[in-house]
Amino acid sequence: MLHLQKHLGISFRHQWLFSVTRFAATAASAPSADPAPFAVEGYLVASCHLTRDKARKASKAKALSHLKSPSNPDTVLAFLSGLGLSPPDIAAAVVRDPALLLCKVDKTLAPRLAELRDFGLSPSQIAQLVLLAPTRFRHPDIVSKLQYYIPFFGSFHDFIRALKKSSYLLGVDLESVVKPNVSCLRECSLSAHEISKMCIIQPRLLYSKQESVRAMLARAEDIGIPRGTTMFRHALQFVAGRSKETISCKMELLKKTFRWSDAEVARVVSRNPSVLTISEDIAWRVSEFLHSEVGLDPEYIARRPSLIKYSLEGRLMPRHYVVKFLKVNGLLRHDRDYYTALKWTEKVFVEKFINPYREAAPHLAEDYADACRGKMPSRFRLQEPGAGLASV
């Protein structure tokens, strides 16, 4: 699998490990130039590059409250620097785990480094683990966790994507929590690939209590999506982490803003559960634009729920004004549907609605590009003054 060491020379690995630990040891042996009493907060600012506010908070951590000397922290900082972590990265790691500065390089950090290196991780991959989960990095079970997670997610890259969502993945017990939750998800006819992709976005499905996971499964069914269907995975992804009350409030918001009946809301959510993520502000703005500016009725929108997930400024508005202007000026049939123009990719939209009219509307491409960047022109300039084309 990942045992890349067979591709690496043993002597090179030992040389690399030796250089990191020697760097740390050298820093530790350097004499202190400041005989004044050791101030933790000042050290965190000067040596770890924390902001004053973050240093003040970190210095109050129980682990650092009795720190009297920079000797061990200096060794740790040298070790982290030797891994390739930048000063901002080191600062972030210390903020996440102030106790990292108290670790013994020779007894804890260097052995973990050697184990991960032997497992097949590169220095940059190990550095990512230190940055995202410094507490778990120094734990003896980290390799056994990676032996499970990396094949589960399919790659170290995808595992890191999930870890960025929650470092708690490395803290939860595999046998009593993670594996039973995976079995629970498989009961819903979800494939291993579907489960792993879903858990990249929602790692809480792996580390939550099993009763919580079963409640999430029930909520996905409650919004009208049966288990075993293609849409069920997407529904579960969006309801995970949202309470039943929150989902009910979101459905009520959709009903009110888009003027839908209960049946229409239920149909919309079952067809496109991602609408549950729309914020109240965006819902009202999109609703106002589609109803008042574009002139779409609630039933039309309900039959095309992806409409309300498109970016208002980046897609709905610019494409509406292009289509409207082309129709007003007789360059586009009036029966051309607005939704048709919306659903095309950017490349296809330009090919169908911009490029064919470069002669008749020489400024259309420029104005459309400006509109997509949030610089909506007061009107689309489709021809020089006096050329006979209208503006919208």
Answer whether 24's CB lies under 8 Å from 76's CB. Answer: yes
Question: Which of 145, 113, 129 is closest to 18 using CA atoms?
Answer: 113
Answer whether 299's CB lies under 8 Å from 264's CB. Answer: yes
Question: What tokens were used for 51?
Answer: 């902001």
CA distance 367 to 357: 13
Q: Give the CA distances from residue 101 to residues 89, 97, 113, 294, in Å, rounded to whole numbers and listed in that order.
A: 14, 8, 16, 59
Q: What per-residue confidence (pLDDT) applies to 11?
A: 42
Q: What per-residue confidence (pLDDT) applies to 325?
A: 86
Cα four-point dihedral sign 192, 227, 245, 276: positive
pTM of the model: 0.74
For residue 224, count other CB atoms closer than 10 A to its CB: 16
What would you measure as the largest C-alpha separation in the chain, in angstroms?
Answer: 84
CA distance 8 to 147: 20
Answer whether 5's CB lies under 8 Å from 118's CB. Answer: yes
Answer whether 172's CB lies under 8 Å from 204's CB. Answer: no
Assign 3-state DSSP to the chain and report helix, strand, coil percentages, each to 5: 70, 0, 30
Answer whether 232's CB lies under 8 Å from 243's CB. Answer: no
Answer whether 383's CB lies under 8 Å from 359's CB. Answer: no
Question: Which of 298, 320, 331, 297 is closest to 376 using CA atoms?
Answer: 320
Name the CATH architecture for the domain at 141-241.
Alpha Horseshoe (1.25)
Length of the chain as a residue count: 392
Domain boundaries, the chain: 4-133, 141-241, 312-372
Residue with tokens 């803003």, as numbered in its chain:
257
Low-confidence residues in the chain, pLDDT < 70: 1-37, 377-392
Q: What per-residue confidence (pLDDT) applies to 36?
A: 59
